Amino acid sequence: MQYYIRDDFGNKTYLARDSEIVASLLQKNYDEKCMKANEKRLKATKSFLKFDSDKDFDDIYNDFDSRIQKMISPVTETKEQLIERIRNEKYEGLGFPLGYPVFLTSDGRRVRSKSEMMIGDVLENSNVLNQYEKPLDLGRYGKVYPDYTIYDLNRNRIVYWEHFGMIDNPKYANKCVEKYRKYILSGITPFVTFETAIKPLSIDLIKKIAWNFSLDNYDDQ
């Protein structure tokens, strides 16, 4: 790939690829396209149309050659950059007591039950961006570890999925109610599923839920 400046007479002056001038001109070109996209957003706002994401900015950035992308700074974090950052994020989960049963999802994550293992497998197979037991600070109500933190790019939101199994066990049920109470008091409404000994969690239900959060649906919005 070559870069050059053309004068009024059509003469070309070639520039080095790592030149600051090249990077500056590419950034200017990218910024101008984003400004035009933003003007469309403003017009849409005045017309009471709704923009739910930064897909238009993503498209502008992704239209550039990968070599050019390395030389410009996107106005917002692109979908691909967000996905990569979340998938590579390091955090300290809740941990497991010594001797606790081992359940592993298909991608090697350790979870606490067969139901959580089913959920984790379906989320991965459905291409849902998620993290297991990532700590969540609820302020004065303490810290919780949602079973699954789901990044719903289709609706620009984060969903905290809590699966309450053994809900027919009074002691366990009381702990679930207290955890749910902390969420609500802190202003967060988690997504909750339940099961009992005679009404286990259905794989079909998990698949139906996961489909709503799938990254495969993002481009259809």
The neighbouring-strand residues paired with 148 are 132, 161
Per-residue pLDDT, 197? 92
CA 62 vs. chain centroid, Å, equals: 18
102, 114 Cβ separation under 8 angstroms: no
The class level of CATH for 94-220 reads alpha beta
Tens of pLDDT along 146-185? 999 999 988 889 999 999 999 999 999 999 999 999 999 9
Q: Pairing mode, if any, of strands 3-6 and 12-15? A: antiparallel
CA distance 50 to 142: 36
Q: Which of 110, 147, 135, 128 is nearest to 209 (CA)?
A: 128
Nearest to 107, CA basis, from 90, 122, 94: 122
pLDDT of residue 198: 94
Alpha carbon distance 219, 221 (integer Å): 6
The domains of the chain are located at 3-76, 94-220
Whole-model pTM above 0.85?
no
Residue 77 pLDDT: 72
- In sequence order, the β-bridge partners of residue 131 are 149
Which residues are registered as beta bridge partners of 110? Answer: 104
pLDDT digits (tens, 9 = 90+) for 83-132: 999 999 999 999 999 999 999 999 999 999 999 999 999 999 999 999 99
For the segment 10-66, what is each residue's pLDDT rounded down to a tens digit? 677 666 666 677 677 777 777 777 777 767 666 554 444 444 455 566 677 667 777
pLDDT of residue 73: 67
Cα–Cα distance list, 173 to 33, 116, 117, 176, 179 (Å): 54, 17, 20, 5, 10
